[in-house]
């Protein structure tokens, strides 16, 4: 029935097949754990829960179809899909994580010869940094895949297969301008490698390198030479601190590492994405450029996907738009991007802030073709009367790790004059969207700038007028004010002073409870010295600050 009528309901098919494809991909990957299932009752239980989720999704959709009829089903599934089936899909991914934890436990039991006496959660907690935010970093892999629209990036498959099969090539450098979809392509490459891994033994590594010291390079080199069939994927090498020469030095080190590792028994490949460089990389590094003609179909697919999603959101102007206007905008967007998915994303979001079709078309017609010019126009259009956007941008530009929505909400509540918290009565997500527009994005309850190039533009252009020293000054002042407000009220829960030695389980629980009750406490306590030091002129920044 679905296939028979599918040509009339392309949007419905795209929504259904997209979610079923994601579920199917994960189920296929479970087959690599088949040998472990027989010995683990907990793993069988986790797999049964996943099976129940898939059945629940299928049965719910079938019952909804029979109860409402196909016409009603088609008219409402796109608009109500997340509300109706979102909890089942979320349950599937939770149980998927449970299964992966059990796989790790079974693997450790095989390696150690006995079952470990700690849970995987305890092990991860022990390995984790002092803050709770590694959960965000662990979610980055899934986030990359979620951003990639089904049906995109397949044009790269022949090049990937050629590179993987070429014995003499070990390093591939993929070059593309800002917003051309390099991160989405990295996610696609990882999915392709994961699919191949099911058919042959191999290892997949995703890592973002920052300032690896020589000793770590040596350790890493020693490790990779002992592994078989490793593919290392590094996305956004140009986003490292430093200039182009330092980036090229990193490429050279990685290429030499690949050459050294290739001398071992297995194969070692490195795939790197970066912006174009003025200086040519080493001769032993193969280069591939992302050209507009390669991504044109991806942009068209992405635009259709975004507008289809917005058409099911009541708060969006696309919700009530006539099909003829919607199709006109789709076509114009796809033609005007010059292969830049980021450009299309920003313009679509800016049109979503308009009130009428006429305003939306004017917005599209007047959108500059260059990203930097588009950033300037989007920033100029922001309502700066409340001061919210300036404070949010200050924090996002200098934050030492990704910030959560509730943390930024608390930042906006801090009153520096009265040294108090002024509770906001409006919805913070809408406040952030209204204040900052398309220049920020909110994903998995974290807020960040829409792209690394937005950060560069804000710090380098006089139009925005942001200086890093001023950003740190804002963050240090707000952090210290927040601590001055909160700590006097909470000292009884952790003792008179913060402990300076290893703390016991009870105090650790109290501190964890405090951080849950006061969402900015963890960040402010950890990073106010960093912000304060960097807010000062160089001649005064050598002082050491600390809590006593």
Mean pLDDT of the chain: 77
Same domain, 361 and 396: no
- Which of 290, 325, 341 is the last residue in one of the domains? 290
Same domain, 335 and 282: no
CA–CA dist 116, 108 (Å, integer): 7
Residues 6+ apart with CB under 8 A from 468: 397, 398, 459, 534
* Residue at 379 is within a domain: no
Same domain, 408 and 270: no
Same domain, 513 and 534: yes
CA–CA dist 313, 80 (Å, integer): 9
Closest C-alpha among 356, 440, 447 to residue 399: 447
Domain that holds residue 326: 293-367
Same domain, 76 and 211: no
CA–CA dist 338, 227 (Å, integer): 41
Under a CB-based contact definition with an 8 Å cutoff, are residues 450 and 437 in contact? no
pLDDT at 319: 87
pLDDT at 117: 55
* Res. 21: pLDDT tops 90: no
Which of 119-128, 341-350, 412-421 is the least confident region? 119-128
pLDDT at 530: 93
* Res. 73: pLDDT tops 80: no
Same domain, 94 and 21: yes
Top-confidence residue, 273 or 55? 273
For the segment 187-201, the average pLDDT, to the nearest whole number, is 75
Two tokens, residue 387: 């001061």
Closest C-alpha among 16, 98, 2 to residue 51: 98
Which of 153-162, 251-260, 439-448, 466-475 is the least confident region? 251-260
What's the pLDDT tens digit per position in 495-510?
444 444 444 555 556 6
Band of residue 258 on the pLDDT scale cut at 50, 70, 90: confident
* Res. 356: pLDDT tops 90: yes
The residue whose two tokens read 């986003």 is 239
Same domain, 113 and 162: no
Bridge partners (DSSP) of residue 286 are 172
| pTM beyond cutoff 0.75 | no
* Res. 189: pLDDT tops 50: yes
Under a CB-based contact definition with an 8 Å cutoff, are residues 377 and 368 in contact? yes
pLDDT at 193: 85
Helix (H, G, I), strand (E, B) or coil at 415: strand
pLDDT at 197: 66
Helix (H, G, I), strand (E, B) or coil at 537: coil
CA–CA dist 258, 205 (Å, integer): 13
Helix (H, G, I), strand (E, B) or coil at 449: strand
pLDDT at 199: 57
Which of 269-273, 500-504, 521-525 is the least confident region? 500-504
* Res. 278: pLDDT tops 90: no
- Which of 127, 155, 183 is the last residue in one of the domains? 127
């Amino acid at each position: 029935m679905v296939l028979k009528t599918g040509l009339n309901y392309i949007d419905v098919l795209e929504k259904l097949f997209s979610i079923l494809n994601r579920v199917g991909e994960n189920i296929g990957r479970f087959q690599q754990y088949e040998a472990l299932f027989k010995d683990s009752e907990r793993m069988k239980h986790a797999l049964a829960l996943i099976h129940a989720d898939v059945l629940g999704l299928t049965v719910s959709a079938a019952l909804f179809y029979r109860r409402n009829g196909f016409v009603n089903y088609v008219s409402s599934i796109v608009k109500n899909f997340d509300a109706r089936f979102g909890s089942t899909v979320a349950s599937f991914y939770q149980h998927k994580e449970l299964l992966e934890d059990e796989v790790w436990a079974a693997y450790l039991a095989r390696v150690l010869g006995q079952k470990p006496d700690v849970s995987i959660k305890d092990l991860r907690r022990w390995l984790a940094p002092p803050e709770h935010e590694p959960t965000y970093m662990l979610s980055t892999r899934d986030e990359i895949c979620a951003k990639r629209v089904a049906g995109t990036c397949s044009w790269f498959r022949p090049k990937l297969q050629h590179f993987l099969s070429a014995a003499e090539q070990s390093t591939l450098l993929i070059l593309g301008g800002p917003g051309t979809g390099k991160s989405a392509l990295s996610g696609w490459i990882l999915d392709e490698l994961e699919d191949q891994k099911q058919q042959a033994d191999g290892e997949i590594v995703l890592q973002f390198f920052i300032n690896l010291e020589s000793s770590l390079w040596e350790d890493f080199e020693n490790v990779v030479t002992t592994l078989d069939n490793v593919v290392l994927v590094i996305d956004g090498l140009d986003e490292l601190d430093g200039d182009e020469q330092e980036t090229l030095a990193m490429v050279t080190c990685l290429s030499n590492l690949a050459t050294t590792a290739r001398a071992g028994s297995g194969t070692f490949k490195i795939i790197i994405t970066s912006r174009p460089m003025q200086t040519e990389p080493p001769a032993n590094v193969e280069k591939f450029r992302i050209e507009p003609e390669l991504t044109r179909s991806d942009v068209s697919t992405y635009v259709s996907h975004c507008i289809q999603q917005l058409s099911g959101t009541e708060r969006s102007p696309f919700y009530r738009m006539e099909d003829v206007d919607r199709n006109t905008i789709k076509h114009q967007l796809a033609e005007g991007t010059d292969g830049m998915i980021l450009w299309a994303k920003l313009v679509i979001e800016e049109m979503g802030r308009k009130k009428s079709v006429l305003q939306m078309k004017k917005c599209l017609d007047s959108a500059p073709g260059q990203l930097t010019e588009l950033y300037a126009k989007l920033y100029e259009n922001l309502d700066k009367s409340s001061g919210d956007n300036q404070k949010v941008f200050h924090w996002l530009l200098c934050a030492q790790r990704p910030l959560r929505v509730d943390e930024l909400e608390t930042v906006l509540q801090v009153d520096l004059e009265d040294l108090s918290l002024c509770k906001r009565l409006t919805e913070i997500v809408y406040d952030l969207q209204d204040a900052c527009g398309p220049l920020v994005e909110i994903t998995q309850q974290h807020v960040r700038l829409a792209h690394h190039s937005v950060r560069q533009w804000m710090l380098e252009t006089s139009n925005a007028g942001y200086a890093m020293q001023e950003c740190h000054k804002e963050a240090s002042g707000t952090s210290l004010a927040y601590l001055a407000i909160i700590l006097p009220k909470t000292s009884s829960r952790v003792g008179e002073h913060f402990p300076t030695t290893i703390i016991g389980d009870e105090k650790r629980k109290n501190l964890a409870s405090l951080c849950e009750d006061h969402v900015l406490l963890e960040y402010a306590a950890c990073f106010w010295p960093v912000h304060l030091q960097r807010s000062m002129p160089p001649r005064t920044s050598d002082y050491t600050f600390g809590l006593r």
